[in-house]
Structure 1
Amino acid sequence: MNNHASKANKPQSNQRFALIALTSLFFMWGFITSLNDILIPHLKAVFDLSYTQAMMIQMCFFGAYFIVSLPAGNLVKKVGFQRGIGIGLMIAAAGCLLFIAAAKAQQYGIFLTALFVLAAGITILQVAANPLVTVMGPTETASSRLTLSQAFNALGTTVAPIIGGTLLFTVAGQYETKAQEAESVIIPYIALAILLVLLAAIFTRISLPTPSNIEEDTTETPSASILKHRHLTLGAIAIFMYVGAEVAIGSLLVNFFGLENIAGLAEMDAAHYVAYYWGGAMVGRFIGAALMQRISAVDSALL
């Protein structure tokens, strides 16, 4: 009897670890995404950029989501969700390592290329990880489980401005040349590359479920099926507008708080206020996850 209980508990334990590992991915790409809010004012100062030029950082980063999403879906369908996650992590790590070349070459264009490659890897991660979270437990709590995992994404966006601000702005005034200031990004992004490679190694060894309903072939093309669902189309538009506003605000907060007629804050101090901004979003997501669980329970009881 104890042996049966042990065998029953082992799959649950493995699934719990797999869910924790998947949730760590949400934290990781939230951290990397929010780090752009610190990178924008940093590179703006290093290369004497206009605001338009500086915002090319987010243009390249989120442009990868638009360009790579469909190829990422095809890749994941071909190699599987687990291998897709590993590939995404390694591509993201390669993007982090490109920051070394960008800093040494003192070329803003290479920084933008590195950001695009980094975001391409994260796009593959999102395509693979989001569906997996929904099947890591009961179907009726799938939406709340995904919301909870995404709340840890918000935790990453909250922590990143504090850590990034400390690493990039604390000793910024001590650099004698712009070249040295540009090279201050090397150590943080090497550390990120190492973490991403370690995560890739972990995901080669854990057991993940296969969302069979996603892998089934359909007679309809994806575009045709999407257009038939009005609420899905409207939801995609809403997310596009919301994320655009959310990212644009976070990207400019450090420079905004640094204006003399606003707050006149030093860059490192302003970075902490960016953390408050993303922290508010994190609180909202955790509350949303709790409410979704309660709503799911009520719906199940009514059915």
Structure 2
Amino acid sequence: MNHSNQPEIITADENSSSKKYLLPFILVISLFFLWGMAHNLDSILIPHLKKACNLNNSQSTLIDTSVFLAYFLMAIPAGMILKRFGYKASMITGLLVFACGAFLFVPAANSLSYITFLIALFIIGCGLTILETSANPYAAVLGDPAKSTNRLNLAASFNGLAAMIAPIVGSLFILSGKSYTQEELSAMPDTSRTAYFLEEAAAVKMPYIILGLVLVAIAILFYFSRLPEVKTKSTDGINSIQGSFFGALRHSHLRWAVIAQFFYVGAQVCVTSFFIRMAQQGGGFDEKTAAYYLAIYGFLFTVGRFAGTAMLQFISSNKLLAFYAMASILLCAVAIFGNGAYVVYALGGLGFFMSIMFPTIFGLGIQGIGEDTKPGSSWLIMSIVGGAILPYAMGSLIDHYGDNIQIGYSIPLVCYLIILYFGLKGYKIAHK
């Protein structure tokens, strides 16, 4: 009998059409949704904690830095956990670490400590790293190897669904709609100013308590579920769960995928981190209306994921990636050089065209690397550090140009050019 702590071992190409993969795949889909909620709530936290903790643009992007630096630092340990304990134990561990970070928001808000918020977000990032290091390749190998990219895009569609729901949750339960200039804050009595900051910070507590409880519940569900521990099969036909961390980089297409993923994640985080501020500054919207436009961005992101998954039935994944990258370049140019609400519409369009980039780059990167799939996945997750570096650079650029949000979008524009190259040439597997 197969018990929950003794997972069934199945090779990735064995019985790939079996219904036994359905429940595991549904459980994995829930993880894509949950880490999508975490990332897209960051887009609410950046303008919100900027007010609550009285920060400038570059300081506010330390929220992104905390989360995505964790991806870089935790990628190798996460890969080791996956290699030693397998997919199921890794996913449970990731859920529980994620929950610990969410619960830490309560003391952070009570003490109005930005450092504590950043520590909480770093812990969340560690949990997300473990989850993504295990769930992405698990979704890829859980069935017919020829359809791994399709499965990743389908699972990631629910990550996109979170991009639509998180801004609505943030607008209803976190954003107050109140904002004051530095002059107005300076004119307030100290007690009133402190009360305002504490009130703004307190708004994050209940959403993150609920998120933490949901994560614990999902972890318990995973523990009592029977999940097959799927092995990859190496190119010489020998079953293996080994692979080499640095040796995986001998695959040139994996190296390019790591580079493309670095710039993709950086671009996406840049776009969403400053979306609300751009809608306020460029479109003239108030804070809550700006958040609903961010939800529209999330809706278009979701539609793009489902549409992209459907289109992959008729077009190769690298060609679709290249087409989406070209469209993103054009829309980003509109955001930089356009005026008024059209700037916000262009950013919304970016949601559609960025939608398939992460799972497609991931799928192309690990394609055909056999026993190096797990270490290769660690490299691709580690490349998410782009989300820690590029938004800070963007915030600094915006501050340098007198809070000009539009000029900052030149950074994601460069990112899309690199992704375009990967979709045209970098994805190709070098045959020796």
Fold match, TM over 0.5?
Answer: yes
1:3-82 aligned at under 5 Å gives the runs 14-82=20-88
- The one-letter code of the counterpart of 1:104 is N
**Corresponding residue SS for 1:169:** coil
Unaligned runs of 5+ in 2: 1-16, 180-191, 234-238, 317-432
Aligned residue for 1:120? 126
Does 2:242 correspond to 1:222?
A: no
1:189 paired residue number: 208
Distance in 1, Cα, partners of 2:33 & 2:241: 32
Instruction: Work out which of the residue numbers 267, 278, 284 in structure 1 matches 2:304.
Output: 284
1:137 aligned residue (134, 139, 143): 143
What's the CA shift for 1:211? 2.2
Q: Deviations over 1:123-145 (max 9, x none)?
A: 10011111211232222212201
Q: Is the partner of 1:246 in helix, strand or coil?
A: helix
Given the alignment, which residue of 277, 283, 286 partners 1:255?
A: 277
Rounded to whole Å, the distance in 1 between the matches of 2:268 and 2:241 is 36
Tell me, in whole angstroms, the C-alpha distance in 1 between the residues paired with 2:225 and 2:139: 14
**Whole-angstrom CA distance in 2 between matches of 1:130 and 1:263:** 37
Q: Is the 8 A contact 1:37 1:252 kept in 2?
A: yes
Superposition pairs of residues 97-246 of structure 1, within 5 angstroms: 97-170=103-176, 177-213=196-232, 216=240, 218=242, 221-226=244-249, 228-246=250-268
Per-residue deviation at 1:295? Answer: 5.0
Q: Displacement, 1:14? A: 4.8
Q: Deviations over 1:56-80 (max 9, x none)?
A: 0001111111111111010121122
Q: Give secondary structure in 2 for the equivalent of 1:213.
A: strand
Counterparts of 1:67 and 1:77, CA distance in 2: 17
SS at 2:274 equivalent: helix
Give, in angstroms, the shift of residue 50 of structure 1: 0.4
Taking structure 2 as the reference length, the TM-score comes to 0.62
Structure 1 residues without counterparts, runs of 5 or longer: 1-10, 297-303
C-alpha contact (below 8 Å) 2:177/2:287 kept by paired residues? no
Q: Is the 8 A contact 2:140 2:152 kept in 1?
A: yes
Provide closer, same or farther for how the CA distance between residues 288 and 73 of structure 1 changes in structure 2, counting only shifts above 3 A.
Answer: same
SS in 1 for 2:122: helix
Residue 153 of structure 1: how far off its partner (Å): 0.8
Q: CA deviation at 1:13?
A: 5.2
Which amino acid in 2 is paired with 1:137? G
Contact 2:177 2:288 in 1 (8 A): no
Match in the other structure for 2:325 = none
For the 8 Å contact 1:14–1:207, the answer to whether it is kept is no
How far apart are residue 161 of structure 1 and its match? 0.8
Structure showing the higher helix proportion among its residues: 1
Deviates more, 1:145-154 or 1:286-295: 286-295
CA distance in 2, matches of 1:172, 1:114: 25
In 2: Cα distance, 1:132 partner to 1:217 partner:
13
Distance 1:202 1:12, change over 3 A: farther
Q: Give the letter aligned to residue 273 of structure 2.
A: S
Does the 8 A contact of 1:131 with 1:211 survive in 2?
Answer: no
| CA separation of 1:95 and 1:26: change in aligned 2, threshold 3 A | same
2:381 maps to which residue? none
The 8 Å contact of residues 132 and 209 in structure 1, kept in 2 or not, is answered as: no
1: CA distance, partners of 2:59 / 2:177: 24
TM-score scaled to structure 1, two decimals? 0.87
Answer with 69-78 or 164-173: which moved more. Answer: 164-173
In the alignment, residue 289 of structure 1 is paired with which amino acid? T
Q: Distance in 1 between matches of 2:60 and 2:140?
A: 37
Once residues 232 and 52 of structure 2 are traced to their aligned partners in structure 1, the CA distance between those partners, rounded to angstroms, is 49
Identity of aligned residues (%): 36
